[in-house]
């Protein structure tokens, strides 16, 4: 595939070509005007010389034509002066010729009738160009005796052609110099004008090489919209990649609990088919939920069905007792049957599973969960959930840090630091609120979560 020329090159060519053509046409027009003016001036000058020749012409004592020249230094009297004159009758007989014609043969053109005139250029034997002007007149020799005569004058155009050639050379030189200067200025201006385009190109290359994640600002109005659109696309792509990466971590973290239940059931030595089938169904549900969440933005949406919390929490309590069977756990639940979460079932299951698993992991023996609808709050924060344990709690300095992905309050403890980060992500998607404090009831950690919810026993 042929390489497409750059925008700057296309602009330079698209402007330079008309510019050069316009300069060439201007030079041709000026040359034509100069030549036309020079020819007209020569024509007028020769016409005046013919009139002066007619005024100076007369008959001498022998009855022959004679021209009485007022100026003895007239160029018509000087050989090789470049000015010539000739008087002929209608039969072509020369009645008078200027002394300057001595040794020169000049074609003065055809014979003309009275009142006619002609102007033309001719070449002499030595190659010189001569301008000829002839006029036909009726000459009265005496009363009742007249004849048609042709008065002709000529002028050597060598000097004029030399001036014309010098003018053309200067015109081409000046026009060429001006064109080059304009092209240089145009190139500099285009380079300055296209600098934002080159900047945008360089920034895109830096984005491709990983040196930057967003395009810069401060571009002209014509490019700022392009930069904004590209930045939006880049942010969307970065969020998509981050969402897929987080989803993989979330999926791995969410599968830990059902896998632990399976391991515990297998170790018990009893009939574990029902338990394994239930956990396999839960694994499938977790995978489907995480894949759906990776493909979308998650969060609240119109038309979500309410999810009853108590049955879901009871199932989680049964599962967590199996996971933490080495502890004598007491998981106390205070949730009314009509308390509902408005959102995706997978989201609330993942959130409560992470919160309760984290509490069971750090507690000594007791975990308390309370959930209720507070009608005084906005619908997006009406569901108030509180989870408390009797563990060591979370230090005030660590309460903000533990919500980041990969961060843990105790780095020596096993884990990946994803549980509370996943909880914070889900709460943020639904526009809720999450606060970490110290439990006044059990003395350990306390998590207060606000999510969309409503009291709806009939729907739940």
| 142, burial (CB in 10 Å: exposed 0-12, middle 13-18, buried 19+) | exposed
Residue 302: what pLDDT? Answer: 46
Q: How far apart are CA 19 and CA 14, in angstroms?
A: 9
Contact between residue 360 and residue 324 where contact means Cβ atoms under 8 Å apart: yes
Residue 416: what pLDDT? Answer: 44
Domain count of the fold of the chain? 3
| 136, burial (CB in 10 Å: exposed 0-12, middle 13-18, buried 19+) | buried
Q: Is the pTM of this model over 0.95?
A: no
pLDDT tens digit sequence for 361-389? 889 999 999 999 999 998 889 999 999 99
Asked if the model's pLDDT at residue 61 lies above 60, the reply is no
Residue 327: what pLDDT? Answer: 85
Instruction: Flag whether 202 is in a domain.
Output: no
Residues 37 and 133 in one domain: yes
Final residue belonging to a domain, choices 240, 265, 297: 297
**CATH code, domain carrying 130:** 3.30.450
Average pLDDT estimate for 339-349: 88
Residues 353 and 426 in one domain: yes
Residues 364 and 274 in one domain: no
Instruction: Flag whether 109 is in a domain.
Output: yes
Instruction: Flag whether 195 is in a domain.
Output: no
Residues 285 and 334 in one domain: no
Residues 20 and 128 in one domain: yes
Asked if the model's pLDDT at residue 230 lies above 60, the reply is yes
Query: What backbone phi and psi angles, to 5 degrees, belong to 239?
Result: -65, -35
Instruction: Flag whether 201 is in a domain.
Output: no
Instruction: Flag whether 51 is in a domain.
Output: yes
pLDDT tens digit sequence for 81-106? 888 999 998 888 888 888 888 878 88
Contact between residue 356 and residue 369 where contact means Cβ atoms under 8 Å apart: yes
Residue 350: what pLDDT? Answer: 86
Residue 124: what pLDDT? Answer: 83
Final residue belonging to a domain, choices 297, 330, 350: 297
Residue 40: what pLDDT? Answer: 92
Residues 154 and 251 in one domain: no
Asked if the model's pLDDT at residue 31 lies above 80, the reply is yes
Question: Which of 229, 247, 343 lies closest to 287 in space, CA to CA?
Answer: 247
Q: How far apart are CA 224 and CA 218, in angstroms?
A: 8
From residue 310, how far is each of 47, 127, 341, 363, 367 by CA, in Å?
Answer: 122, 120, 10, 22, 16
State the residue for tokens 């306390």: 446
Asked if the model's pLDDT at residue 296 lies above 80, the reply is no
pLDDT tens digit sequence for 250-271? 555 556 566 666 666 666 655 5
DSSP H stretches of helix in 137-272: 158-193, 195-209, 221-268
Give residues with Cβ within 8 angstroms of 167, minimum separation 6. 31, 34
Residues 291 and 306 in one domain: no
Average pLDDT estimate for 159-187: 88
Residues 278 and 407 in one domain: no
**CATH code, domain carrying 348:** 3.30.565.10
Final residue belonging to a domain, choices 163, 178, 201: 163
Contact between residue 426 and residue 297 where contact means Cβ atoms under 8 Å apart: no
Instruction: Flag whether 185 is in a domain.
Output: no
Name the residue range of residue 264's domain.
214-297
């Amino acid at each position: 595939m042929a390489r497409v020329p750059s925008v700057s090159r296309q602009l330079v060519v698209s402007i330079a070509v008309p510019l050069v053509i316009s300069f060439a046409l201007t030079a041709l027009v000026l040359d034509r005007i100069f030549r036309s003016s020079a020819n007209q001036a020569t024509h007028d000058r020769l016409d005046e010389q013919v009139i002066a020749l007619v005024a100076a012409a007369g008959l001498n004592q022998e009855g022959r034509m004679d021209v009485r020249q007022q100026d003895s230094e007239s160029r018509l009297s000087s050989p090789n002066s470049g000015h010539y004159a000739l008087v002929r009758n209608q039969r072509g007989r020369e009645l008078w010729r200027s002394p300057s014609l001595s040794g020169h043969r000049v074609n003065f053109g055809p014979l003309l009738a009275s009142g006619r005139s002609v102007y033309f250029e001719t070449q002499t034997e030595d190659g010189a160009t001569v301008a000829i002007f002839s006029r036909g007149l009726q000459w009265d020799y005496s009363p009742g005796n007249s004849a048609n005569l042709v008065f002709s004058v000529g002028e050597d155009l060598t000097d004029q052609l030399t001036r014309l050639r010098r003018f053309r050379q200067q015109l081409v030189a000046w026009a060429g110099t001006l064109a080059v200067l304009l092209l240089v200025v145009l190139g500099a201006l285009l380079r300055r004008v296209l600098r934002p385009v080159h900047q945008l190109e360089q920034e895109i290359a830096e984005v491709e090489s990983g040196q930057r994640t967003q395009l810069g600002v401060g571009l002209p109005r014509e490019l700022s919209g392009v930069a904004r659109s590209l930045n939006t696309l880049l942010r969307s792509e970065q969020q998509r990649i981050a969402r897929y990466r987080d989803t993989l971590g979330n999926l791995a973290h969410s599968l830990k609990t059902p896998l632990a239940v399976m391991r515990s059931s297998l170790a018990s030595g009893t009939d574990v088919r029902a338990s394994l089938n239930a956990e396999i169904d839960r694994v499938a549900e977790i995978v489907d939920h995480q894949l759906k969440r990776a493909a979308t933005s998650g969060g609240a949406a119109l038309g979500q069905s309410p999810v009853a919390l108590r049955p879901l929490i009871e199932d989680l309590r049964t599962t967590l007792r199996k996971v933490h069977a080495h502890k004598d756990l007491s998981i106390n639940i205070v949730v009314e049957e009509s308390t509902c979460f408005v959102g995706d079932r997978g989201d609330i299951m993942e959130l409560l599973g992470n919160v309760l698993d984290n509490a069971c992991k750090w507690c000594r023996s007791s975990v308390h969960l309370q959930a209720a609808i507070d009608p005084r709050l906005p619908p997006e924060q009406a569901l108030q959930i509180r989870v408390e344990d009797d563990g060591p709690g979370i230090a005030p300095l660590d309460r903000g840090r533990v919500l980041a992905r990969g961060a843990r309050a105790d780095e020596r403890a096993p884990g990946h630091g994803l549980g509370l980060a996943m909880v914070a992500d889900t709460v943020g998607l639904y526009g809720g609120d999450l606060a970490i404090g110290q439990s006044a009831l059990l003395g350990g950690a306390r998590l207060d979560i606000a999510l969309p919810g409503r009291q709806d026993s009939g729907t739940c």
